[in-house]
Structure 1
Amino acid sequence: MGIAGAGARAGHPGTPYGAAYADAFGNGRLQVIPEAGHLPQMERPEATFALIDAYVRQVSGR
């Protein structure tokens, strides 16, 4: 899973960077956090860690 802020190049809808990165992994996906830029883990930590938690629960079957 790739996580990007909507204001960052990887998360901006007009650029393919984040999607290409996520597609490089077999089951990859890109999650974009609104109102965040290049460092969503610092700008929107609650949203970032909620995405990580949900992903870990999904892949671990919990």
Structure 2
Amino acid sequence: MRKHHQGFEGRIVQVIDGPFTGFRGEVKEVNEQTVKVDVQTYGRATPVDLALRQIELVPEISN
């Protein structure tokens, strides 16, 4: 499973569970069960640790 998530770094994801649901951010680091995401809140990036189940990739063609 880890190999599947290695390509997440630098990608934009949407938070689908938890207090940041609906926010988007850039993946900065991937561990075996968590990801560190810079979530855009109030015009600035806020680093957040999330479980892999809490995010989904945003298609690259999406703005």
| Range into which the TM-score falls when normalised by the shorter chain | under 0.3
In terms of Rg, which structure is larger? 1
TM-score of the superposition, structure 1-length normalised? 0.23
TM-score of the superposition, structure 2-length normalised? 0.23
Is the strand fraction higher in 1 or 2?
A: 2
